[in-house]
Amino acid sequence: MRLWSSLLLLAALCLCIFAGWVLSGPFPLSDWASAPLASFALAQGRNPAPIQLVRPVAPAQYSAMAQLGQNLFFDKSLSASGQLSCASCHDPQNHYGPPSASPVVYGGPEMKSPGLRAVPSLDYLSTQANFSIGPEQGETDTPATLPQLAAAAATATRATKTAQSTASAAANLVPMGGLFWDGRADTLMAQAKGPLTSPFEMDGGSDATIAAKLQASPYAAQFTALFGDDIFQNPRFVVAEALFAIARYEMEDQDFHSFTSKYDYWLEGKARMSQAEMRGYQLFNDPAKGDCAACHLDQPTPDHRPPLFTDTQYEALGVPRNPHIPANANQDYFDMGLCGPIREDLKSLTQYCGMFLTPTLRNSATRKVFFHNGVYHNLHDVVEFYNLRDVAPGRIYPTGPDGKVEKFNDLPAKYQANIDRTDPPLNRELGDAPALSDAEVNDIVAFLKTLTDGYKPKGG
């Protein structure tokens, strides 16, 4: 009798411990009821349905073109100052993002010309589609011009995106794809040419000037070996081949798209997440909480390609103005993304003013500047921006001389209707409770740190 009583007491104690574990965990009771085995695995930080990811296949060695591109990527002599290369702003040690916390880079002949935007990362761009407006076109569709698509989009109702339903938004006529914050480049070649010739970056000069530097470089023989002895007689051609070589290097070097984060290995069942990381993962996907996955897609594709953590669409978020950007000293200056001042072909399409590309969140934990204007310097402040922008704007924006909060102070009032006020948690009103508690903000940041490449799984 005493044995049975002891066993029943032990069973009751175990049940209480298990119930406490369930109730204190990141997953609701309904999940445990509907999928107990999966919930048990998730509560332990394991993926209950691991898959084998299909990563890009690394070449056995660089092609001759990629070897040339690598030399070009690190060559400071191509800049007017002799102090900037591609790698100066896109630092391999910082996952090809900026190495410093400065919102902009200074370039030009004397390294005194400030840029206009924060440096984006070159990570995970090899599959980026060309810039377009609207849903993906089928193979038999007749391509429409940007003005035609924009005209159609102007009368379309904006679809609300949530982490659990992105299909309707994806089908909507919205800008997507392209490189740079404003999508003005469609290829890695065009992207490489931007900084090379920009007067406030490398400022390399004309094709003739760049070609002369290439001909005098230590790797000039690589050009003649690949393209013939007369390659340097045509400056435009040699510069085009140089840009293609840089693109090949970025395609072939797996460091640009290694998919070696803790989250990647968790998807494969080779890593466990901590309780904080699991709670953050749940909040990241919860439309009533972070709803981050609505734009930063976190699930593998049907063919098991790793998620890129971006839908590559454009959003106007209304981030606060950064007074540390020299151009912003002019109160009449505004960076409006898709409709200027750098991009010029969409200036008349004012429904896109204030929109910038949604970047990948991979390796975001190692970045030192966030958003197009580099106004934030850590992930905690970034998550808090989404959490507090509308419910407590006084904690996000400055107060003007009249004592009023200057909400959306980095976009002219006539374009502020473009700002996203529909996607959770940006659909809340002044005085509402924030979607996330302080602890939940920290949990989302903990999850975002699992997206940093270079994780070594146990036994891997």
* pLDDT of the residue at 58: 85
* pLDDT of the residue at 174: 87
* pLDDT of the residue at 365: 98
Please state, rounded to an integer, the average pLDDT across all residues of the chain: 89
Kindly indicate the confidence band of residue 29, based on its pLDDT and cuts at 50, 70 and 90: low
At a CB cut-off of 8 Å and minimum separation 6, what does 365 contact? 379, 445, 448, 449, 451, 452
Tokens, residue 442: 């920290």
* pLDDT of the residue at 136: 45
* pLDDT of the residue at 153: 45
* pLDDT above 50: residue 149: no
Mean pLDDT of all residues in 145-152: 48
* pLDDT of the residue at 35: 57
State which amino acid sits at residue 359. P
Tokens, residue 321: 């103005």
Q: End-to-end alpha-carbon separation of the chain, Å?
A: 51
At a CB cut-off of 8 Å and minimum separation 6, what does 148 contact? none
Tokens, residue 318: 């209304």
Task: Identify the CATH number of the domain defined by range 147-176+258-460.
Answer: 1.10.760.10
* pLDDT of the residue at 40: 74
Most confident by average pLDDT, 21-25, 58-62, 296-300: 296-300
* pLDDT above 60: residue 460: no
> Are the beta carbons of 400 and 408 closer than 8 angstroms?
no
Q: Which residue has the higher pLDDT, 318 or 33?
A: 318
Q: Taken in order 121, 364, 200, 349, is the CA torsion positive or negative?
A: positive
| CA angle at 240 for the pair 229 and 345, rounded to the nearest 5° | 160
* pLDDT above 80: residue 383: yes
pTM here is 0.88
Mean pLDDT of all residues in 276-298: 96
Q: How many CB atoms lie within 10 A of CB 289?
A: 20
* pLDDT above 80: residue 221: yes
Kindly indicate the confidence band of residue 184, based on its pLDDT and cuts at 50, 70 and 90: very high
* pLDDT above 60: residue 54: yes
* pLDDT of the residue at 159: 62
Kindly indicate the confidence band of residue 158, based on its pLDDT and cuts at 50, 70 and 90: low
* pLDDT of the residue at 101: 96
Mean pLDDT of all residues in 243-259: 98
* pLDDT of the residue at 10: 58
* pLDDT of the residue at 129: 95
Which of 150-154, 184-188, 234-238, 409-413 has the weakest average pLDDT? 150-154
Mean pLDDT of all residues in 361-368: 98
* pLDDT of the residue at 343: 96
Q: What percent of the chain has pLDDT over 90?
A: 79
Mean pLDDT of all residues in 390-408: 97
pLDDT tens-digit profile of 77-120? 999 999 999 999 999 999 999 999 999 999 999 999 999 999 99
Q: Which CATH superfamily is domain 64-125+186-256 in?
A: Cytochrome c-like domain (1.10.760.10)
Q: How many CB atoms lie within 10 A of CB 237?
A: 15
Q: What percent of the chain has pLDDT over 70?
A: 83
pLDDT tens-digit profile of 129-148? 999 997 644 434 444 454 55
* pLDDT of the residue at 44: 83
Return the closest-CA partner of residue 210 out of 228, 236, 192, 229: 236
* pLDDT of the residue at 213: 98
Fold matches, 64-125+186-256 and 147-176+258-460:
yes
* pLDDT of the residue at 134: 77
* pLDDT of the residue at 141: 46
* pLDDT of the residue at 135: 65
* pLDDT of the residue at 137: 42
Q: What are the sequence ranges of the domains in the chain?
A: 64-125+186-256, 147-176+258-460
CA distances from 205 to 209, 212, 235, 239 (A): 6, 11, 12, 11
